[in-house]
Amino acid sequence: MDGNYQEYINRVVQMTMPANYKQQLANIQPSPKFNNGVAVEFPGYSIITPPWKDDEFNDEFYQHLEEVQKQLKDSLPEGLFLTVPPESFHLTLADLIWDKDYISATKEKENFDRLLITEIGKIFEEYQKLHQPDSLELELLGISIFPRAIAVCLAPTENSYNYIIELRKMIYQNEQIIRLGIEQQYEFAAHITLGYFGKSGKDLNIEEVEKKIVKINDELAEKRLPPFRLKQWELRKFTDMTNYIREKDWATIRL
């Protein structure tokens, strides 16, 4: 499902073009992951970089994102933009399973969690035998308006992209992972979520909101952010969209 590097760049650049914000805003919907501004239960697993509170390599990068998040929160209509805790900022490399699919899987297999944790550990071990890249890097492209969230999108170097896609192939094409009911549902789009929508586009003065987001994005583009250093990724379980946990013996790769 994931295309080649140039296809990735073409697709994600379109996602961050301010010229597309108006149409994107017209289609936004309140996120079901929040209720009255509070994160609701939404359990599952994914492969992510350590959240900011546990990340040793990207403090300056995340400080800039925290400022962008604050600007959005202060500028947009009350109740529209529901922020996630900055300490939970992270980059997702592979979605695994979540919400109703996860709950159903745990009912069908009482040891589902242990099976998944064990299999991801095996995949990570195999990946490290085959690939030993140096630190991978991604550059910030800009703000992107998703149907239910606001995020910033990133562009990896071509070398970094290929290593990421190889990891995703090893996960999604693994027979044991498939037997657990896990399949790839999205093309890779490197992004860091800043918050979710609490209102729909029909409730907005879209032109006014668009102007404010464009202004913040333009100011962000003028800053010289350091590259995002992809030095570590790991299996994490989330209880909702603000809380990502793991045990010490769970799979991790550190470059």
Three-class DSSP category at 66: helix
pLDDT of residue 60: 98
CATH number for 27: 3.90.1140.10
Map tokens 């003028």 to a residue. 222
Is residue 77 situated within a structural domain?
Answer: yes
Is residue 253 situated within a structural domain?
Answer: no
pLDDT of residue 134: 82
pLDDT tens figures, 35-79: 999 999 999 999 999 999 999 999 999 999 999 999 999 999 999
In 5-44, which ranges are continuous DSSP H helix? Answer: 5-15, 21-26
Provide the domain limits for residue 92: 5-247
Angstrom CA distances, 131 to 137, 223, 253, stand at 16, 34, 11
Is residue 54 situated within a structural domain?
Answer: yes
pLDDT tens figures, 24-44: 999 999 999 999 999 999 999
Please count the structural domains in the chain. Answer: 1
Is residue 252 situated within a structural domain?
Answer: no
The pTM assigned to this predicted structure is 0.97
Backbone angles phi, psi at 204, to 5 degrees: -115, 155
Is residue 254 situated within a structural domain?
Answer: no
Is residue 235 situated within a structural domain?
Answer: yes
Cα(81)–Cα(69) distance, integer angstroms: 9
How far from chain centre, in Å, is Cα 118? 23
